[in-house]
Chain A
Amino acid sequence: MRYVIIGASAAGQAAAETLRQWDPQGSITVISDEAQPLYSRPLLTYLLSGEIRPEKVWLKGADYFQEWGFEARLGEEVVQVVPADREVRLASGRVCPYDRLLIASGARPKVPGIPGEDLEGVFTLRNLADWRRLESGLEGVRQVVVVGAGAVGLKTADALMRRGFEVTLLARGAQPLSRMLDATAAAMLMDAVATMGIDLRCHSWPVALKGDGGRVKKLILNSGEELPAQAVLFSVGVTANVDFLEGTGLGDPGGILVDRKLRSRDPRIFAAGDCCRPHHLLSPGQWPYHIWPAAVDQGRVAGANMGGGSRLYPGLLPQNSLSLRGFKIISGGLGPHDTKDCEIVAELDQSRGHYRRLAYREGRLVGLTLVGAVAHAGIYFQLMAQGLPAPEPVTPGLLWG
């Protein structure tokens, strides 16, 4: 059996390793447009801040592919997948025939599409190459604007702040992380962000970038205000890397639609990670959720199914952890906008900076936000993931250990 895996990050690598267990003999080809073995993308903001040294981002050694017996096509770009011929065509002209194909090509940052985006000094942060470009572009920079106050935007703003830049962070809505946090948790986060010295602007987004000599000089806000900036970093979401599927009808920029076995409409083609749109555990519909642990999970399921197994992906449970200089938030399940019909139990311990918000629906836990004391998050997520009847909400204040 010939297996081909497009993408060698979290999902691709987890799938390849699982596949090797299911089919010790099969030939497994891993294609990646990056020239190095697995590294941790979530660590890039830590790399930017200087908290870790560059060698710490590597998760696997240089001889990883050899060790596992994978054929690696590194630094090669996929230009087309032809399901009719069961072939993957690479930019180098090489053709990889497959019996089973996994697409784990991930996603790339979106840019809002405003004038001036092509100026020098405009960045995104997604992979190592982006980080290198950003590092070399930060020379002589004093003021940075980070556009988009999601998890990546917040971490990046914090990292730049630690490096001594003047950082302005733009949030489109009334608060950062609006899909994850209710107003109380967001207020605590905004306090923490303010303490770090980051200038957080809500209800703000850029309408244009102005440059001088090809280099960005200022950013014009929706309010008309002009922010001086020598560097602008966009973290306004991602779009799936599925250009090579054009004409096959398998994928669109939202991602590849997959069934419970993580198979696309073509039974020989599977998808996992940021480029796919999986089922969700607590809500109907399929949409992508970009987080490392989910990609690893999906990679394992897809890998097992490619190797002849029959594993069902239980559905994605949105969850994320944000840690800014010891200030921790873990949130997951249904967000504040989806829990309007739920029973909410919320308790706030202002003196210790702890907050807990639980959302119950029909006797089951469906939403969680923990601020400050996050140690027990995993227990709540287990309750959610297994759909266990949730015990009566406990007397407030007694479980803070």
Chain B
Amino acid sequence: MKTVIVRPERCVGCWQCRLACAVEHSQTKDLAAALGEGVRPRPRLRIYPGRQHLAFPNKCRHCEPAPCQAVCIAGAIHRTPRGTVDIDPGKCINCAMCAMACPFGVLTYASLYKAPDHRAVALKCDQCPEREAQGRVPACVEACKVGALTYGEWQETQEDKGRVLAQAVFASLQSPRETEPSLPDNLRVWRLLS
């Protein structure tokens, strides 16, 4: 399955993905027009201060099996044919059971223009189905300028990451041990806050 791959070590916390995500999930899909919409569009991913990195992008992993799907008492969460976990705003009752189950804390609850009466429903990454239909990558990936969010087959990425890690371990065994560079104060404090 193709998915958004997160590389937190590259993220600089610029929030452009959040902006792009909110625009993509607006009614007009246009930044200027989205600002004037009756129901404020919301981003579906968050950026936290990271423990090992500057910033940590957090979004739905589309788990298999999905804990949120198992606990949904309204039957609103389902798996789509393309493999993503999706929430049906017509069925969601805003009960927050999924927030209780999600081990990554990726859900938000807010009004949605697609929901009946614009009521509040559970929101999370849907991996931009309309963009995929047009052969485009998800909005957050397109917006990311530093390669922290990329789009690809997760199995391939896992293999790549494994290879990189193995090479790094091998290289570190061969080179003399370096001392860790001291960090500027503001970065150190930022990391402590996570």
Contacts and interface: CB of A to CB of B under 8 A. Distances in A.
A59 interface: yes
A375 B107 CA distance: 6
A291 to B, nearest CB: 9
- Which of A292, A321, A394, A401 has the largest count of B CB atoms less than 10 A from its CB? A321
Contacts of B152: none
A171 B107 CA distance: 32
A378 B74 contact: no
Interface stretch (B91-99, B133-141, B153-161): B91-99
A42 B48 CA distance: 34
Interface stretch (A81-89, A322-330, A347-355): A322-330
A319 interface: yes
Nearest to B111: A326
B99 A43 contact: no
Interface string B53-66: 00000000000000
A129 interface: no
A328 B107 CA distance: 13
Nearest to A376: B105
> Which among A58, A374, A398 has the highest number of chain B CB atoms within 10 Å?
A374
A374 B99 contact: yes
Interface residues of A, number: 33
A253 B67 CA distance: 31
Interface string A304-328: 0000000000000001110100101
Contact of B120 (A326, A330, A332, A379): A326
A146 to B, nearest CB: 19
A40 to B, nearest CB: 5
B31 interface: no
A46 B74 CA distance: 10
Contacts of A58: 75
A379 B104 contact: yes
Nearest to A297: B70
A395 B193 CA distance: 7
A262 interface: no
A381 B46 CA distance: 20
Nearest to A14: B70
Nearest to B75: A59
Interface in A269-327: 292-293, 296-297, 319-321, 323, 326
B103 interface: yes
Q: What is the interface of chain B mostly: helix, strand, loop, or mixed?
A: loop
B102 interface: yes
A229 B103 CA distance: 45
B95 A377 contact: no
B71 interface: yes
B3 interface: no
Q: Which of B75, B107, B109, B120 has the most CB of A within 10 A?
A: B75
B1 to A, nearest CB: 21
Contact of A330 (B75, B96, B104, B106): B96
A319 B108 contact: no
Contact of A378 (B94, B103, B108, B120): B103
B73 interface: yes
A382 interface: yes
27 contacts: A42-B95, A43-B93, A46-B74, A52-B93, A58-B75, A59-B75, A293-B97, A293-B100, A296-B70, A296-B71, A321-B100, A323-B94, A323-B95, A326-B120, A330-B100, A332-B100, A374-B99, A375-B107, A376-B105, A377-B99, A377-B105, A378-B99, A378-B101, A381-B101, A381-B103, A395-B193, A398-B193
- In the A-B complex, the 5 residue pairs with the smallest Cβ-Cβ separation, listed nearest first, are A376-B105, A378-B102, A293-B71, A42-B73, A382-B103
